[in-house]
């Protein structure tokens, strides 16, 4: 059978796009997202950075996603989740947080380099495939409005939209709020201080509770450090009546959650 003839306009537009991309590559050749070495495809990593990146995969704690050195059986939780069940049902992360992934994440946070969010969203969606199948609403961890005004965007929301778009999920950036100015978690001296800092930082306003009630929520953030932020968000969402709250981050520190969650 003959392939269907392409309308001339479509062929022309595809041709122009191809030429446009080639011309752009000539002027601004694609570079590795991490080390800026030349690569063949935009928004990709060079072979060296790619092999150094640690993607997290099973065996993992069934609850918080902490990687286990050996398979321990289905549904097994890490010691920290067994000692104290986190407020979120499950958490998963695409990458281990180390020097390599930090180089990818910091520009997303501070340097307005958002072009990589599509790639990051795909990695996160792969890590959280099971959680996405169970979710109907994506909620990014909010920034306080003052920090949002300074930075101009919330990197968690950028990642949330990247995941939701592909999986046709609703994004809710309004219901979970951060009314208190808390000091940046990165500036906190200890896990205990981080916990106190975020414990009551998040709320769902009364007027918004209806939007959260009975929803199956996927929380999104860039990094899981101690679990304190995700835990505080999950508590606020569950207080507002969410049916379930799971979480996905681009990276996580590979150590147990804070024991005092």
49, 104, 135, 237: residue in contact with Zn ion (rule CB under 5 A): 49
100 contributes a contact to Zn ion by CB under 5 A: no
Whose Cβ is closer to Zn ion: residue 59's or residue 241's? 59
Which region, left, alpha or beta, applies to residue 65 given φ > 0 means left and ψ of -120 to 50 means alpha? left
Q: How distant, in Å, are the alpha carbons of 111, 112, 153, 154, 157 from that of 150?
A: 12, 12, 8, 10, 15
Whose Cβ is closer to Zn ion: residue 32's or residue 96's? 32
Residue 48 CB, nearest approach to Zn ion (Å): 6
64 contributes a contact to Zn ion by CB under 5 A: yes
The whole-angstrom separation of Cα 35 and Cα 64 is 31
Residue 52 CB, nearest approach to Zn ion (Å): 8
61 contributes a contact to Zn ion by CB under 5 A: yes
Whose Cβ is closer to Zn ion: residue 32's or residue 171's? 32
Of 16, 19, 18, 38, the C-alpha closest to 28 is: 38
Residue 45 CB, nearest approach to Zn ion (Å): 5
91 contributes a contact to Zn ion by CB under 5 A: no
63 contributes a contact to Zn ion by CB under 5 A: yes
Whose Cβ is closer to Zn ion: residue 78's or residue 237's? 78
234 contributes a contact to Zn ion by CB under 5 A: no
Which region, left, alpha or beta, applies to residue 56 given φ > 0 means left and ψ of -120 to 50 means alpha? beta
Residue 163 CB, nearest approach to Zn ion (Å): 22
60, 81, 162, 236: residue in contact with Zn ion (rule CB under 5 A): 81
34, 194, 238, 252: residue in contact with Zn ion (rule CB under 5 A): 34
3-state secondary structure 52-96: HCCECCCCECCCCCCECCCCCCCCCCCHHHHHCCCCCCEEEEEEE
78 contributes a contact to Zn ion by CB under 5 A: yes
For residue 20, what are the contacts with CB-CB under 8 A and spacing of at least 6? none
3-state class (DSSP) for residue 3: coil
The whole-angstrom separation of Cα 210 and Cα 154 is 24
Residue 21 CB, nearest approach to Zn ion (Å): 21
The whole-angstrom separation of Cα 74 and Cα 244 is 21
116 contributes a contact to Zn ion by CB under 5 A: no
Residues 3-22, interacting with Zn ion (CB under 5 A):
none
Residue 33 CB, nearest approach to Zn ion (Å): 7
25, 30, 31, 32: residue in contact with Zn ion (rule CB under 5 A): 32
Residues in the chain: 261
> In the complex, which residues of this chain contact Zn ion (CB under 5 A)?
32, 34-35, 37, 46, 49, 61, 63-64, 66, 78, 81
């Amino acid at each position: 059978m003959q392939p269907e003839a392409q309308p001339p306009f479509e062929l022309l537009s595809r041709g122009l796009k191809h030429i446009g991309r080639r011309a752009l590559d000539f002027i601004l050749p694609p570079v590795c997202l991490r080390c800026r070495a030349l690569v063949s495809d935009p928004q990709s990593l060079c072979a060296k950075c790619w092999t150094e990146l640690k993607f997290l995969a099973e065996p993992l704690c069934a609850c918080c996603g902490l990687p286990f050195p050996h398979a321990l059986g289905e549904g097994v939780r890490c010691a920290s989740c067994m000692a104290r069940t986190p407020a979120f049902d499950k958490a998963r992360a695409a990458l281990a947080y180390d020097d390599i992934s930090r180089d990818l994440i910091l520009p997303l946070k501070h340097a307005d380099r958002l072009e990589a969010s599509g790639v990051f969203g795909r990695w996160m969606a792969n890590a959280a495939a099971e959680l996405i199948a169970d979710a109907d609403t994506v909620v990014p961890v909010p920034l306080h409005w003052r920090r949002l005004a300074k930075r101009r965007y919330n990197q968690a929301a950028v990642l949330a939209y990247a995941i939701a778009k592909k999986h046709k999920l609703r994004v809710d950036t309004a219901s979970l709020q951060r009314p208190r100015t808390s000091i940046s978690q990165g500036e906190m001296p200890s896990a205990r201080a981080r916990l106190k800092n975020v414990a009551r930082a998040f709320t769902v306003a009364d007027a918004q509770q209806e939007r959260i009630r009975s929803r199956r929520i996927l929380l999104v953030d860039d990094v899981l450090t101690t679990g304190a932020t995700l835990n505080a968000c999950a508590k606020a969402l569950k207080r507002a009546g969410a049916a379930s709250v799971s979480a996905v981050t681009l990276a996580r520190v590979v150590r147990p959650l804070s024991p005092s969650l």
